[in-house]
């Protein structure tokens, strides 16, 4: 138990630059208190003490402002940062090393008892402030959910989900899960270039600029052809002879 508590404190010191000491984390961080109180509640739930489990969870909610159903499964080194107003549903699962910010809901969209109604977060997932992850699907390892995103479908490992409804940005070929500040931890699940609409707009702007350039080259070729003795090859060397407009890629970014 103490070994796991030390691991929880260590992960908070790694991810929160405001944390100054282990004693401060142990006494002043409600996210840690919520995780510690969830463990006996979860044990009671699994051993048939459902009322006692619910009471402990209710007490934890009153003390920390974080509501975690006693049946939810939480891995090691999970950090609820600030975390006021976080709701974790009954069948939710949170993998090792995840970071969840304030106002996050891991909710369900089904009313059938016994069904998998809430999401499963893989390892080292970052869920930004105010995000809603709704449904019994899986968010892959190392994925990032941007602040205020509403996610209703699976997120591949290493991908980023932003927007309402969330648009999925696949991970790059060289992307790797991010677990700590030393490895490039991304607070609130957002980095530069994460907005798919912005990426699509930049793609359209680049394409428009390229078209202007190609039109200028066409006029150069026409000017050469209009001369009395035109050159045999009037097409400039940098003229685009094949289409290169990435229609499907841009459509995927905007979610249509």
pLDDT for 5: 86
Lowest mean pLDDT among 23-37, 132-146, 148-162, 220-234: 220-234
More confident residue, 112 or 19: 19
* pTM (two decimals): 0.69
* Per-residue pLDDT at 129 exceeds 50: yes
- Higher-pLDDT residue of 185 and 24 is 24
Closest CA to 67 of 51, 84, 53, 87: 87
* pLDDT tens-place string over residues 136-158: 899 999 899 988 889 999 999 98
Q: 196-228: b or e for each residue (b if 16 or more CB lie within 10 Å)?
A: beebbeebeeeeeeeeeeeeebeeebeeeeeee
The pLDDT of residue 226 is 63
The confidence score (pLDDT) of residue 72 equals 93
Q: For residues 207 and 42, which has the higher predicted lDDT (pLDDT)?
A: 42
């Amino acid at each position: 138990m103490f070994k796991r508590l030390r691991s929880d404190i260590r992960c908070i010191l790694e991810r929160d630059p405001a944390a100054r000491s282990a004693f401060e984390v142990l006494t002043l961080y409600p996210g840690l208190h919520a995780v510690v109180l969830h463990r006996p509640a979860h044990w009671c739930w699994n051993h048939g003490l459902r009322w006692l489990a619910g009471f402990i969870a209710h007490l934890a909610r009153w003390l920390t402002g974080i509501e975690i159903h006693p049946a939810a499964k939480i891995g090691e080194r999970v950090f609820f940062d600030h975390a006021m107003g976080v709701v974790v549903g009954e069948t939710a699962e949170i993998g090792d090393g995840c970071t969840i910010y304030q106002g996050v809901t891991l909710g369900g969209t089904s009313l059938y008892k016994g069904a998998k109604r809430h999401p499963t977060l893989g390892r080292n997932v970052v869920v930004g402030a105010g995000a809603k992850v709704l449904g019994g699907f899986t968010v892959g390892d190392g994925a990032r959910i941007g602040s205020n995103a509403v996610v209703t479908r699976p997120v591949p490992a290493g991908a980023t989900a932003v927007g309402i409804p969330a648009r999925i940005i696949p991970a790059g070929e060289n992307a790797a899960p991010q677990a700590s500040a030393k490895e490039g931890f991304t607070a609130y699940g957002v980095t530069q270039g994460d907005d798919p609409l912005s990426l699509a707009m930049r793609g359209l702007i680049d394409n428009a600029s390229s078209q202007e350039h190609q039109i200028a080259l066409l006029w150069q070729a026409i000017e050469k052809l209009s001369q009395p003795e035109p050159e045999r090859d009037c097409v400039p060397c940098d003229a685009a002879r094949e289409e290169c407009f990435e229609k499907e890629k841009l459509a995927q970014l905007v979610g249509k």
